[in-house]
Structure formats: C-alpha cells, structure tokens
Copies of this chain bind each other. A is one copy, B any other.
Amino acid sequence: MAGEGSGKPLGEFERIERFFAPLAGPGGLGLLDDAAIVDCRAGQHLVVTADAIVAGVHYLPDDPPDLVARKLLRVNLSDLAAMGARPLHYLLTTALPSALGEEWVGEFTRGLAEDQRRFGIDLLGGDSVATSGPAVLSLTAIGQVSAGMEVKRSGARAGDLVWVSGTIGDAFLGLAVLRGAYPQLAPEHRARLIERFRLPNPRLDLGGRLAGIAHAMIDISDGLIADLGHICKTSCVAAVVELASLPLSPAARVIVDGEPGVRTALAAGGDDYELLFTASAGLAKAIDDLSSAIDIPITRIGKIESGEGVRLVDAAGQTVPIDEPGYRHF
C-alpha cells in the first residue's frame, strides 16, 4: 500500500500508517511492501471478488462512515458466501475528496476493524488517493473453498426447487423509509428496515454449508427477480416464483398488509444480501433441517423449469407483471 503510484502527497503515507496499517495482517507486511503474500494450500481454491461504491450513488454522503465501510466489506463477503467460500483477506483502494478529513477516515477504519474481528479477516494492501469528485471506494475480497466445492450460478437444473434465506425486501423498504416513506410505521420497524439497508448480514455460515447441496447460488444484490434471472441465464433454464411464498419480516408484513401491491416491488428491490439457491427437490428435508440447525429461515419460493426467464405467479398460478427488475440510484 505504502509508496505505490505517483501523485501521492506525503500526508497519504501518514494516513496509511496511522489508519490503515493497524488493519493489516501478517500477509500484508504492515502495508509497507510492494505487494502482499497469500499462502496457498493444496486442495483449496482461492475465491476473489471486487466491488466499488460511490458517494451519492451507492450511499448517502452523510451516512455514518463506519457503516459505509462495513457495508462495502459485507457486500463483498456476501459474494464469497454465494460461492460457498470462507473469507480470508481484503484489499482496499480509497479515492477521497479533501473535504473528508481524519475524522471521517478514523470512523471509516474503525468500522473496518470492527468487521475484521467479526469475520476473522485482515487487510492485505491497497491504495489511498485524492479525487476532486465524490468518494470512490473499491474493495477486493479473497476467500477460500475446498477445490471443486465452489457453488456457481450456472448449475441450476429443470426440476430444482428455488430457496431463499432470511426475509426479502427489507433493505428496499429501509431506503424508502430513509426517503420519508411510511411515516406511520412503528419506530422499531422503521429502525429494523433502515438497519437492513445500511448493514447487510452476509450469510457466510449458510453459504459454506450449502456447498455440496446447492446446484446454483447467488446473493441478492440487484433484487430477487433480477438475480434469479442471472442464475437462469447462466444455467440456460427458466424459473417460476410464487409471489405469496416470499418470506417477509414483521415490518414488511405490516406494510404489505396495508398496501398489497408492494409485495411485487419487494421481489424486484435489491440489497437483501440473502442467499438465493436451487437444489434437488429430494433435498428439501435436508434443507429444512439445516435451517433449523443454524436458526436461519430458508424458504422455498419456486421451481426451475426448462425454458428461459423468470415468471412471478400469484396464489392462483396467474402470471403477475413484474415492475422494472432490480436496483435503483439515489
């Protein structure tokens, strides 16, 4: 990290030494070297993923910096979870406007430190540069999985059932609440929805346990319908999802009870970071048992068929039109 690239004022070295070096693990060489070292173990695959977020696009500029850091880390860990991998390390590059001073960076790295402890990972390296525009934060996460046990998007087969962990649509509603929607909702429900939006919970334990069970898996970032569409496209199959079966949180259920049409939007809204996977129908009992064992709801929401595309159906089996699938900007 230190000393990489040109155009770096001396202050950046001090910033790295003060705020980022304490986050480094042994492979990161104290962020004092050109690159970092990752041990390779025979019979293992490393799994790598990268995401970038931009202030004003993926988060609000006045969002708490520690939560911005933890969300950035967690969305990457969620990608590792969706492959069945265990996280090990990460690299981080930050392009920050000069208006974000030491206080912001201190809070940002405090959030990273907190989640490093929680997930047992460390910082390997990266870069710290200045920009005249909004902050751009880019993170590369590195995980590990037994060779051949990684779960891809492309393994879904006609006849599979479709399952999803946790509850769907909370982050979508959390963003709506932040924007002023549902003012009549109880404060504890509002707080819970906002928390789901600000701080996703990567399903790492579940992802690891689904290696060997799931045929195809993805984490829901773009929205349940869009992400199931990614599985269908790469697997060359179609999917049918029963709208009524979508698992909703108590807060989401209150909103949907008052406005039933919102249920479709929850299927299209993103940022859930739950795991969506397909598996043989014969494994339904094993999946129920797994759900009980780790105390995470896993709900069967549909099935895989031959064909292409994702179809949403109501209780009577009638096709429900889908709003614009997935994501939205601030």
Interface residues of A (CB under 8 A from B): 1-9, 29-30, 32-54, 56-58, 75, 79-80, 82-83, 85, 89, 91-95, 97, 124-127, 129-134, 136, 138, 140-143, 147, 150, 152-154, 217-219, 221-222, 226-227, 230, 233-234, 270-271, 327-330
Contacts of A130 in B (CB 8 A): 54, 57
Closest to A58 in B: B7
Contact, CB under 8 Å: B152 / A33: yes
Contact, CB under 8 Å: A3 / B222: yes
- With A40-B40, A52-B93 known to touch, is A330 a contact of B127 (CB < 8 Å)? no
Counting from the closest, the 4 A-B pairs by CB-CB distance are A133-B133, A40-B40, A35-B49, A52-B93
Q: Which of B7, B132, B154 has a CB less than 8 Å from the CB of A32?
A: B154
Report which residue of A5, A51, A93 has the largest number of chain B beta carbons within 10 angstroms of its beta carbon. Answer: A5
Contact, CB under 8 Å: A80 / B7: no
Q: How far is the CB of A11 from chain B (nearest CB, A)?
A: 12
Contact, CB under 8 Å: B45 / A42: no
Contact, CB under 8 Å: B35 / A44: no
Q: How far is the CB of A221 from chain B (nearest CB, A)?
A: 6
Closest to A43 in B: B40
The docked-state distance in angstroms from the alpha carbon of A329 to that of B129 is 11
**Copy total for this chain:** 2
Contact, CB under 8 Å: A52 / B2: no
Contact, CB under 8 Å: A33 / B328: no
Q: Which of B39, B50, B79 has a CB less than 8 Å from the CB of A93?
A: B50
Contacts of A3 in B (CB 8 A): 218, 221-222, 226-227, 230
Contacts of A44 in B (CB 8 A): 40
Contact, CB under 8 Å: A126 / B34: no
Q: How far is the CB of A239 from chain B (nearest CB, A)?
A: 15
Contact, CB under 8 Å: B93 / A51: yes
Please name 10 further chain A to chain B contacts, defined as beta carbons within 8 Å, in addition to the given A133-B134, A140-B140, sorted by A numbering.
A6-B270, A9-B329, A32-B233, A34-B49, A48-B142, A50-B93, A52-B93, A93-B138, A132-B134, A138-B138
The docked-state distance in angstroms from the alpha carbon of A154 to that of B37 is 14
Contact, CB under 8 Å: A221 / B93: no
Contact, CB under 8 Å: B40 / A46: yes
Q: Which of B35, B54, B141, B153 has a CB less than 8 Å from the CB of A80?
A: B35
Contacts of A93 in B (CB 8 A): 50-52, 138
Contact, CB under 8 Å: A7 / B95: no
The docked-state distance in angstroms from the alpha carbon of A30 to that of B154 is 11
Contacts of A152 in B (CB 8 A): 29, 33
Q: Which of B7, B83, B134 has a CB less than 8 Å from the CB of A328?
A: B7
The docked-state distance in angstroms from the alpha carbon of A79 to that of B125 is 12
A-B contact pairs, 20 of them (CB 8 A): A3-B218, A5-B75, A7-B53, A7-B330, A32-B233, A32-B234, A34-B83, A34-B217, A35-B80, A35-B82, A35-B85, A40-B40, A40-B42, A50-B93, A50-B125, A52-B95, A95-B95, A131-B134, A131-B136, A140-B140
